[in-house]
Amino acid sequence: MNDTFSDLRDSGRLDGTAPERRDILGLLEDQGRPLQRREIVERLGVTSDISREILRRRLKAMVRDGQLIKNRRGAYGLPARMDLVSGRVSAHKDGFGFVIPDDGESDLYLSPRQMRSVLHGDRVLASVIGLDSRGRREGAVAEILERAHSRVVGRFVEESGIALIVPDDPRISHDILVPLGATAGARPGQVVVVEITQQPAERQPPVGRVVEILGKSGAPGMATEIALRNFDIPWEWPEGVEEQAASFGAAVTEEMTVARRDLRDLPLVTIDGADARDFDDAVFAQRRNNGWRLVVAIADVATYVKPGTDLDREALNRATSVYFPQRVVPMLPEALSNGLCSLKPDEDRLCLVCDMSISDAGTVTRARFDSAVMRSQARLTYDQVWEWIVSGEPEIRPGAAAVSASLRDLYGLYKALRRARTQRGAIDFESTEVQFRFDERGAVEDIVPYERNDAHMLIEECMITANVEAANFLLRQHIAAPFRAHEPPPPDKLESLEQFLRGLGIRVPWKGRPQPRHFEQIVQQVKGRDDRHLVMAVLLRAQSLATYQAVNSGHFGLALAAYAHFTSPIRRYSDLLVHRAIHHVLEHRGAKGYPLEREQMEKLAEQCSHRSRRAEEAERDVNDRLKAIFMERHIGDDFKGQVTGVTSFGLFVEITRNHVSGLVHITSLPNDYYHFDPVVHRLTGDRTGKVFQLAQKVTVRVMAVNIEDRKIDFELVP
């Protein structure tokens, strides 16, 4: 995947004779039997040496991706015709697992015995061997296509002359044996990185050697160090990448601004968080008759990061910046992300601009994209802007009359955009985020809610508007690009959601397939309720995951027919791809000659989706570990909270003050036999009649904390 652009350089289009994957698959489907490579060469009429070499590499890649099987006779066949399913292993901490098929079919259950030879994340070919006792398709691993782990983070254990690593990731259920001569001096209890020298087999556990000692589990900064390795986040730059980023210099020269629209006199400003260092978007608004002019200027990363370069390959490999509480792992080196691309105040910067006219009704009536040069007139924070708006002061700072006028008009425009958002039925989710505060040693000192204000939402609405126009521009030009797709909630999640809402006495406003406005109606229903935060969290969990796709299918949550990410190319590769497509149209006056087609874009979109999910999982893992570390200091302390989940084995309670969640196990409840009602999410005591249910306010005491498992145990305080 990382070599997508270099593959394009080497593709068969150089002589027009190398077959595409679809040609190979079509041939094998027509022939009805596996074919040797020479037979494929003959039947597809491949003649030149370069085309034969491309075909060889393509066949190898198709085997790696599970599209083809190479049998023992060296012939290539179709997995589906061999009754084999390609997919990725999803392991459960209790030892069993599933194969998640590439084709979207139902999962294959893998018994603990089948899981002996694989690890979580491995790509495999599996055969369907029947149905298990619960009626699920059961599989057997036929071939391992790709190993997901070459290194694993875990706790070093040495007992009775045997050393092993207990993986930190609970989904990796195999302990890794380490020869005593390969421990690198690690001591019991330390967190280490082990390189797997022998992958697991049915009768052989994995074997490895210690290559890095990280230190004590709860030490400051350790949560991030573990997550970087657990989730394979690239944090070190390959040789030459930082030098390439620095080679552009620290300033925009006058030669670089030639043939660009000059916006340096426009009072554009950046509005970000107080701790932000990379500024990739700037805004300006002006009230006009019957509406506004809105200018959204975005850092022109595409001018510096060209396809096929080392810089581009590493950007694609990362595909997104990863934001941890004390550390950012950027997609681009600092020379660009915090330097030449960042829209710093009072410095010339290259940008790609979306210049829009918007009506009083909040509808875009005209939009124009341009390559431009700009000069930000202020670096503002959300809190600064909101405090100024509330204050009613004439200027946000002395001598900033033009900036202040733009901000006033921005706020007026924001209100119109919010009205338009409400009218189209977009869901106004309000998730609760927290901020970690650290002491001078880097240890968690406190956890506090993160407050959003109208300045946050002002920028959000401006960015959404520009993203929509980028998507519409690309659709009009019929050019390949990654669209941001968000499907409606799947039926199984909808059914559970409906049961949950009815259990709380909330009217379900839809019959059959819901529309976004139905979810917004629920949001309005629960305003002012004590359980509002809980309902919002459940509504969010019921949504489908948003993904990048080469075909536009709309965005359900935002109630938009078309959507693409355009506004953050410093930190998202998807946005960089959108910028490249827009640049191509502007420079060539159309889509003709664009080097990426749908098949390549689908692969790039898939990688962007995967890397985005990986970043979210890594960020969530660090947050959960930091919460556990913080709560370990509060064992024995009491907190007020709310029941956010009811199961057959106990209650999940979220502390009101810092939104930390833990479990009250059923054995910690008042002594009784409890019956669980899954429809209304309720536990009822048989003898006492005591009822525990969702949204119930309780007081809990912290009883135990397991940092490795990120688990916190509570008990109820009478």
Residues whose CB falls within 8 Å of the CB of residue 415, separated by 6 or more in sequence, listed in order: none
Region 97-104: mean pLDDT is 87
Contacts of 74 (CB under 8 A, 6+ apart): 36, 37
Per-residue pLDDT tens for 565-613?
A: 999 999 999 999 999 999 999 999 888 999 999 999 999 999 999 999 9
Q: What is the CATH number of the domain that holds 49?
A: 1.10.10.10
- Give 531-545 pLDDT, tens digit per residue: 888 888 888 888 999
708 & 600 share domain? no
Residue 220 lies in a domain: no
Structure confidence at residue 114 (pLDDT): 93
Percentage above 90 pLDDT, the chain: 71
Query: Which residues partner with 127 through β-bridges?
Result: 84, 140
> Would residue 255 count as lying in a domain?
yes
Q: For residues 348 and 430, state if they share a domain.
A: yes
Please give the full DSSP string across 140-163, using - where no structure is assigned.
EEEEEEE-S-SEEEEEEEEETTEE
Whether residue 224 lies inside any domain: the answer is no
**Structure tokens given for 16:** 């027009």
SS3 content of the chain, % helix, strand, coil (to 5): 35, 30, 40
Structure tokens at 479: 């050019």
pLDDT in tens, 105-147: 889 999 999 999 999 999 998 888 888 777 788 989 988 888 9
**187 plus 158 within the same structural domain:** yes
Give residue 231's pLDDT band: very low, low, confident or very high (50, 70, 90).
very high
Whether the per-residue pLDDT at 554 is higher than 80: the answer is yes
- In this structure, are 132 and 193 located in the same domain? no
Estimate to the nearest angstrom the gap between the alpha carbon of 273 and the chain centroid: 20
What domain range includes position 680?
A: 634-716
Mean pLDDT across 233-258: 96
Rounded to whole angstroms, how far apart are CA atoms 578 and 558? 19
| CATH number of the domain residue 658 falls in | 2.40.50.140
Is residue 424 classed as helix, strand or coil in its secondary structure? Answer: helix
> CA 645, CA 418: separation in Å to the nearest integer?
33
Q: For the whole model, what pTM was predicted? A: 0.86
The answer as to whether 556 is a domain residue is yes
CA–CA distances in Å: residue 441 to residues 128, 227, 254, 444: 54, 20, 46, 9
pLDDT above 50: residue 16:
no
Give the integer Cα–Cα distance in Å for 711 and 704.
8
Q: Which one-letter DSSP state was computed for residue 565? A: -
Q: Do 341 and 322 fall into the same domain?
A: yes
Residues 365 and 255: beta-carbon distance below 8 Å = no
Structural domain includes residue 226: no
CB atoms within 10 A of CB 457: 17
CA distance between the termini of the chain: 57
Of the candidates 329, 305, 333, 336, which has an alpha carbon nearest to the alpha carbon of residue 241?
Answer: 333
